[in-house]
Amino acid sequence: MASATTTVGRILVVMVAGALAACVGPEPDRPPVGTTEAALAAEALPDGVWAVEAPDLSRDRADALKVRTDHLASLRLAVAQPYKDGDLCTHGVEAWSAPCSAEQPAGCLLAATYATVYGGELVVGWREKTVRFSRLEWLVKALPGFAEPAMLEKGLKDPSAERLNRLAAEIIALRLNVDLNAHGQLGEASLGEAILVQGALAGLTVSEALELAEQALGGFPDKMERRGLNVDTLTLALAWVNGLSPDCRVHSAFMRQGR
């Protein structure tokens, strides 16, 4: 009888595996790498697109190297699990810019952890187009940022609130949420690995959404545009993410854990 049960179990496993393979389909091949690493860098995006950076290749050639596997984002969401109260906390731009008080604990947390987490300098953006803050006091004065959302034309150091645009401000707020969480604050679960469930960034982890936004800020908007976003709608999407859990309660309709 035990042997028969084992056989049935094996048959069921094979059937389930076959069904999953039929649903998911074969794993796409990685685009071929050129003669040098610099000539062709391929990156597996969460939404299943192989994005190719190939400045020395024609547009048609680059397009031909993209392999679409859009089912990956849906598969990721299907296995994501809900959080329990207290697992994650987030703060918005206004909370991070507020002075430390009992009503605004984010300011107190930032003052207590900034030097340890950043060693004095916080940087957001991509490549040479970044926003840098050399001291906490300059960062707090610059938030929440009053300039219209935009990609950076050049790098900025210790900008005023009038020069800091809202896209950069939301990216800074999300960077603070992710980094302080990684250093043991803002809940016990990993915010960076949390999967966004709704909106234009659905299917991405928070860290992936942050990278997408930093690339757009630094003048590389490809990932942003593939999701139908511009700097204004991306700013709104990031503000939504930053405001998901100010009371340390995460609704499973908005964000789930993938591990």
Please state the three-class secondary structure of the chain as a single string.
Answer: CHHHHHHHHHHHHHHHHHHHHHHHCCCCCCCCCCCCCCCCEEEECCCCEEEEECCCCCHHHHHHCCCECCHHHHHHHHHCECCCCCCCCCCCHHHHHCCCCCCCHHHHHHHHHHHHHHCCCEEEEECCEEEEECCHHHHHHHCCCCECCCCCCCCEECCCCCCCEHHHHHHHHHHHHHHHHHCCCCCCCCCCCEEECCCCCCCCEHHHHHHHHHHHHCCCCHHHHHCCCCHHHHHHHHHHHHCCCCCCCCCCCCEEECC
Q: Does residue 78 sit within a domain?
A: no
Question: Which of residues 12, 36, 69 is at a domain's end?
Answer: 69
Average pLDDT over residues 199-204: 91
Q: What is the mean pLDDT of residues 189-194?
A: 94
Q: Note the pLDDT of residue 250.
A: 82
Number of domains in the chain: 2
Spatial contact of 160 and 142, defined as CB atoms under 8 Å apart:
yes
Least confident of 14-18, 35-39, 119-123, 130-134: 35-39
Least confident of 77-86, 95-104, 194-203, 221-230: 77-86
Residue 88 lies in a domain: no
**Same domain as 102, residue 43:** no
pLDDT on residue 53? 39
More confident residue, 62 or 176: 176
As a whole number, mean pLDDT of residues 29-33 equals 37
Are residue 125 and residue 179 in the same domain, yes or no? Answer: yes
Q: Are residues 200 and 104 in the same domain?
A: yes
Q: pLDDT band for 62, please (50, 70, 90 cuts).
A: very low
Higher pLDDT among residues 205 and 27, named by residue:
205
Length of the chain (residues): 259
Domain that holds residue 157: 93-257
Task: Look at residue 123 and tell me if it is in a domain.
Answer: yes
Domain for residue 172, yes or no?
A: yes
Q: Are residues 123 and 242 in the same domain?
A: yes
State the amino acid at position 156 in one-letter form: L
pLDDT value for 120: 80
Higher pLDDT, 224 or 7: 224
Does some domain include residue 87? no
State the CB neighbour count (10 A cutoff) for residue 235: 24
Q: What pLDDT sits at residue 12?
A: 33
> What is the reported pLDDT for 80?
60
Mean of pLDDT values over 43-57: 38
Residue 29 included in any domain: yes
Shared-domain flag, residues 61 and 148:
no
pLDDT given at position 76: 59
In a domain, 197, yes or no: yes
Asked whether residue 12 falls in the same domain as residue 119, the answer is no
34, 69, 104 — which closes off a domain?
69
Are 246 and 131 in the same domain? yes
Mean of per-residue pLDDT scores for the chain: 77
Instruction: Please check whether residue 141 is in contact with residue 159, taking contact to mean a CB–CB distance below 8 angstroms.
Output: no
Q: Do 224 and 183 belong together in one domain?
A: yes
Same domain, 249 and 163: yes
| 142 close to 161: Cβ distance less than 8 angstroms | yes
Answer yes or no: do 110 and 224 share one domain.
yes
pLDDT digits (tens, 9 = 90+) for 122-161: 999 999 999 999 999 999 999 999 999 999 999 999 999 9
Work out the pLDDT band at 46, boundaries 50, 70, 90. very low
In a domain, 86, yes or no: no
Share above pLDDT 90 across residues of the chain, in percent, rounded to a whole number:
57
Same domain, 60 and 99: no
Report whether pLDDT(180) > 70.
yes
131/11 same-domain check: no
